[in-house]
Amino acid sequence: MNRLRDRLGRAGTLMPAGAGGFLAWWGTSLATWLPEGWRRVLGLGAGRLLLQPGADGVQLRLQQGAELRDLARLPALADDGMADPLARVLSARAAELPRALLLPAAVALRREMTLPAAAADRLRDVVGFEIDRQTPFTADAVVYDVRVLRRRAAQLDAELVAVPRQAMEAQLGQIGPLAGTLGGVDVAGADGVPLGINLLPPERRHRRPDPWRVWNWGLAAFAVVGVALALWQVLDNRTQAADALEQRLERDAAPARRAAAQRQQLVSLIEGQAFLDNARRARPAAVEVIDELARRLPDGTYLEKLAIEEERLTLIGLSNEAPALIGRLQGSPLWRSPALTGALQPDPSSGRDRFTLSAEIGPKAPAGKETARGNARTFH
């Protein structure tokens, strides 16, 4: 339990600078909802050690929030080679708390300033350019920090706290070997409560080694590996699901493709049958042609050959009225454009003329088309 409390007690000091004040504010706000006893058990109110030099020694105080409690008074410390003089008067847990030097209010110069809200991200750097105008010192002659007093919509009220560098070094010299163990330097307010600033330059701040650092890195690496494995497992599951879906779609698509092919084949057959039916309806039957010829040809006409090839009707025979055959065959709805294809040849044995006659099977052509054919035939 002591390790847990110590661990949680150092969380605020180990917070990365990039996390900014938001995480600190958020953690502090959450901690205030816990009962005081719980905060002490969890180490959230462990606080810090304040070293306040005086004429008769160094006063040790424990700060927990706004509460200050005197722990002990040490005589003037000298550098006697001992690593940590506080280990002799404090418990191990108390000796591990963060330490800060508390300067008296009289050595600090405080100035309130109104700045744009955009300066909050780099407040210390912005205020650093104002030291020459706000104090009688140059920036190299003081150590300083700044704290935010109030925030408004477009502005914020900040307070510059500057201490002459020599005054701070004199106070550090009074605590002897403890100066190298400090994590910060604060200034007491008018009521004796620290302002909550840190005047100690970052390069001089003592950072205690974190015994949990190796465990933290190990746990972080384990978490990264775990997340990577989980993501890989999810990806593998999705890949397998996609493959299974593709196989199922392929399996279901095969009958669909066969059905589509059969449907297309059926449609082709239906269209072909419809085309044949239309063609058959557009052309008269051979029986109808023969019956129409029998009714139109005169009795003295004999046929030696009757041929129907696609849309062409050919008649070869003998007739004693061969010149009149064209007139007899014209006007039939079963053919059109009857004409003799050659000269009439007398047949001495029968006394009739041999003829060859052709016509186009089908309905009678339009007048314009028939006229065009007649002109073409006349031209040839």
Q: Using 50, 70 and 90 to split pLDDT, how confident is the model at 367?
A: very low
pLDDT tens, residue by residue, 156-165: 899 999 999 9
The architecture (CATH level 2) of 46-208 comes to 2-Layer Sandwich (3.30)
Tokens encoding 4: 């847990």
What distance lies between CA 71 and its chain's CA centroid?
57
Round to whole Å and give the CA distance between 358 and 339.
6
Long-range (24+ apart) CB contacts under 8 A made by 79-87 are: 79/176, 79/177, 80/177, 82/177, 83/177, 84/177, 84/181, 85/176, 85/177, 85/178, 86/49, 86/60, 86/178, 86/181
**pLDDT tens-digit map of 100-136:** 999 998 899 999 988 898 888 888 888 888 888 888 8
Q: How many CA atoms lie within 13 A of 209 on its CB side?
A: 3
pLDDT tens digits, residue range 32-68? Answer: 666 666 665 555 556 888 888 887 888 888 888 778 8
* Full DSSP string of 149-189: EEE-SSEEEEEEEEEEHHHHHHHHHHTGGGGGG-SEEEEB-
* 92-96, 99-103, 131-135, 203-207: least confident range: 92-96
Residue ranges of alpha helices (H) inside 16-55 are: 20-32, 36-42
Q: What is the homologous superfamily of the domain 286-361 according to CATH?
A: General secretion pathway protein M, EpsM (3.30.1360.100)
**pLDDT tier at 185, thresholds 50, 70, 90:** very high
What distance in Å separates the CA atoms of residue 12 and residue 195, rounded to the nearest whole number?
Answer: 17
**For residue 241, what pLDDT is reported?**
93
Calculate the CA 31 to chain-centre distance.
36
Average pLDDT score, the chain: 80
More confidently predicted of 219 and 46:
219
Residue 23: CB partners within 8 Å, gap ≥ 6?
Answer: 15
> Residue 49 forms beta bridges with which residues?
62, 99
